[in-house]
């Protein structure tokens, strides 16, 4: 029974700290975030945070890395064989769901990009650019196959990113304007429907009508 699960308590603290750090870094950025605030949010003494992550920079990198890994899992395989309307609709709905359910991750990413992506410039070049290139090639494939009208694939991807992430990054503004306290499932559904239908129609595809 001894040492049966040696890494568990450690992992538990690691996760707690990472979550607290994600929130603080998302709100205040790397320079603005305070180690004390992260420790308080995690319910641990500040020295404990330093014990696990050595310093502020390593903690920030760990959080960023954690987010990027999670996000990559969402990037599923779409091929030229798929139906563009279905594929784009699925992608848009996934992104909206992510924005509603994990807004902090999106906000931290946004913060990093706004600051000029000092810690992600390599990631942009090495991971995101190839990812966009590949999706763009698939979309071009659809256009060449006559499955959809001609459009700019890269600008289309930017538009999907912008409209979906907006609900995570600008949550405070949206809630304020809509006179609401929180997001709910119904709003998420309405937004998904509106964004998907408007973009698909906008590029000349017939919108998908899910579960009807």
Partner DNA sequence: GTCTATAAGCTGATAGAC
Partner DNA sequence: GTCTATCAGCTTATAGAC
Strands (E), the chain: none
* Interface with a copy of itself, residue 61, by CB under 8 A: no
Q: How far is the CB of 83 from a copy of itself (least distance, A)?
A: 19
31: closest CA among 55, 57, 52, 50? Answer: 57
CA 187 from chain center: how many Å? 19
Q: CA dihedral in degrees (208, 95, 167, 123; nearest 10)?
A: -150
| CA–CA gap between residue 107 and residue 111 (Å, rounded) | 6
141 part of the interface to a copy of itself, by CB under 8 A: no
Binding of DNA by 35 (CB under 7 A): yes
Question: Roughly what angle, to the nearest 10 degrees, separates helices 185-202 and 84-101?
Answer: 150
If one asks whether residue 173 binds DNA (CB under 7 A), the answer comes out as: no
Q: Which stretch binds DNA (CB under 7 A): 55-63, 75-83, 136-144, 203-211?
A: 55-63
d(CA 12, CA 101): 22
By CB under 7 A, tell whether 34 contacts DNA: yes
Q: Which does 210 bind (CB under 5 to 8 A by kind): a copy of itself, DNA, none?
A: none
Which of 40, 97, 151, 188 forms a contact with a copy of itself (CB under 8 A)? 151
**Of 15, 61, 124, 145, which lies in the binding site for a copy of itself, with binding defined by CB under 8 A?**
124
**CA distances from residue 9 to 3, 5, 13, 36 in whole angstroms, order as listed:** 11, 8, 6, 22
User: Residues 124, 117: contact at Cβ < 8 Å?
Assistant: yes
| 19 is a contact residue toward DNA (CB under 7 A) | no
The binding site for DNA (CB under 7 A) comprises 6-7, 9-10, 13, 31, 33-36, 44-48, 50-52, 54-57
**Given the rule CB under 8 A, which residues bind a copy of itself?**
26-34, 107, 110-111, 113-117, 121, 124-125, 128-129, 132, 151-152, 154-156, 158-159, 161-163, 165-167, 169-170, 172-174, 176-179, 190-191, 194-195, 197-204
């Amino acid at each position: 029974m001894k040492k049966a699960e040696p890494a568990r308590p450690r992992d538990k603290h690691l996760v707690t700290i990472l979550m607290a750090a994600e929130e603080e870094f998302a709100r205040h950025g790397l320079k603005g975030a305070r180690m004390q605030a992260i420790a308080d949010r995690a319910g641990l003494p500040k020295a404990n945070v330093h014990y696990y992550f050595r310093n502020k920079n390593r903690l920030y990198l760990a959080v960023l890395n954690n987010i990027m890994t999670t996000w990559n899992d969402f990037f599923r395989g779409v091929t030229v064989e798929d139906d563009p309307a279905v594929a784009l609709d699925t992608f848009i709905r996934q992104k909206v769901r992510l924005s509603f359910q994990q807004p902090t991750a999106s906000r931290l990413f946004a913060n990093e990009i706004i600051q000029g992506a000092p810690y992600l410039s390599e990631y942009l070049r090495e991971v995101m650019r190839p990812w966009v290139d590949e999706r763009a090639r698939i979309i071009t494939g659809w256009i060449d196959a006559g499955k959809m009208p001609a459009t700019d694939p890269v600008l289309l991807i930017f538009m999907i990113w912008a409209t979906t992430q907006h609900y995570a990054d600008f949550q405070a503004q949206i809630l304020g304007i809509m006179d609401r306290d929180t997001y709910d499932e119904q709003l998420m559904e309405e937004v998904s429907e509106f964004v998907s239908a408007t973009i698909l129609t906008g590029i000349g595809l017939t919108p998908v009508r899910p579960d009807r």
